[in-house]
């Protein structure tokens, strides 16, 4: 918006956005036809009940509760030392700051929910390959290429920790490669489907 007008007196992000929508007369110079912000669908629902500051705090609370749910799930499945080291790793990446960012939180939410889903399916003695396919598809839809590898890495770590010490290393490695390949199929497949929709229903260049 700053390319179209100068407004030094307004500093609040919400007011700046409101001013931009009401005063901007110039069309955007660039349209990102290759992307869509899937997370914006959820955020728009939150904007019905609050402003930008409110939505950021709601987002923070949702992410915090999700992290606590993941921590409880992790504690039930693993040794205390694994649990403490995992929490320490979250502190090192400043998770409490990331949850204030509406761009970065989708990847972390998908990673936490994906890891819990993997642990639940292992507990129920069900296959987890399809879970990685769904995780990859959700990542392509909701995450704007921030930290997509996190969504496959954390569930993989949980799967590895669930393997016993007598498991076959080659078989486990083969299984991890399969998980990664399936995740990539879900990720690339969703991107391809997005491009197909854009090509069929819009005039945007992809």
User: What pLDDT, in 10s, does the model give residues 104-142?
Assistant: 889 999 999 999 999 999 999 899 999 999 999 999 988
**Is the CA virtual torsion 23, 25, 26, 27 positive or negative?**
positive
pLDDT at 118: 96
| Spatial separation of the C-alpha atoms in residues 197 and 206, rounded to whole Å | 11
Which residue would you say has higher pLDDT here, 82 or 19? 82
Q: Among 37-41, 44-48, 122-126, 146-150, which is the least confidently predicted range?
A: 37-41
| Spatial separation of the C-alpha atoms in residues 72 and 67, rounded to whole Å | 9
pLDDT at 2: 44
pLDDT tens track for 60-73: 889 889 988 999 99
- Reported for 191-198, long-range contacts at CB under 8 A and 24+ positions apart, including other chains, are 191/140, 194/34, 194/36, 194/140, 194/141, 195/34, 198/33, 198/34
Q: Which two tokens stand for residue 175?
A: 């299984």
Residues 6+ apart with CB under 8 A from 129: 178, 179, 182
Q: Write the CA distances from 74 to 35, 83, 95, 112, 124, integer angstroms.
A: 34, 6, 17, 10, 15
pLDDT tens track for 46-58: 888 888 888 888 8
pLDDT at 77 > cutoff 60: yes
CA nearest to 154, candidates 61, 86, 59, 69: 86
pLDDT-derived band at 179, boundaries 50, 70, 90: very high
What mean pLDDT do residues 91-110 have?
A: 83
**Is the CA virtual torsion 61, 112, 95, 150 positive or negative?**
negative
pLDDT at 54: 87
pLDDT-derived band at 154, boundaries 50, 70, 90: very high
Count how many residues are written for the chain.
206
pLDDT at 10: 45
Q: Write the CA distances from 95 to 40, 153, 162, integer angstroms.
A: 21, 16, 24
Mean per-residue pLDDT of the chain: 83
pLDDT at 122: 92
pTM more than 0.85: no
């Amino acid at each position: 918006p700053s390319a179209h007008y100068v407004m030094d007196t307004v500093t609040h992000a919400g007011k700046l956005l409101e001013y931009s929508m009401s005063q901007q007369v110039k069309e955007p110079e660039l349209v990102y036809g290759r992307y869509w912000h899937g997370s914006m669908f959820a955020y728009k629902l939150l904007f019905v009940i609050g402003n930008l500051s409110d939505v950021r705090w709601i987002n923070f609370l949702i992410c915090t509760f999700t992290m606590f749910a993941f921590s409880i799930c992790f504690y039930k499945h693993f040794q205390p030392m694994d649990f403490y080291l995992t929490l320490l790793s979250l502190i090192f990446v400043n998770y409490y700051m990331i949850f204030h960012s509406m761009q970065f939180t989708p990847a972390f939410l998908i990673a936490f929910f994906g890891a819990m889903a993997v642990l639940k399916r292992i507990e129920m003695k069900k296959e987890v390959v399809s879970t990685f396919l769904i995780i990859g598809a959700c990542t392509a839809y909701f995450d704007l290429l921030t930290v997509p590898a996190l969504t496959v890495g954390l569930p993989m770590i949980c799967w590895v920790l669930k393997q016993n010490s007598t498991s076959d290393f080659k078989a486990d490695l083969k299984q991890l490669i399969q998980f990664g390949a399936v995740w990539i199929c879900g990720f690339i497949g969703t991107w391809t489907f997005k491009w197909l929709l854009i090509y069929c229903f819009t005039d945007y260049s992809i």
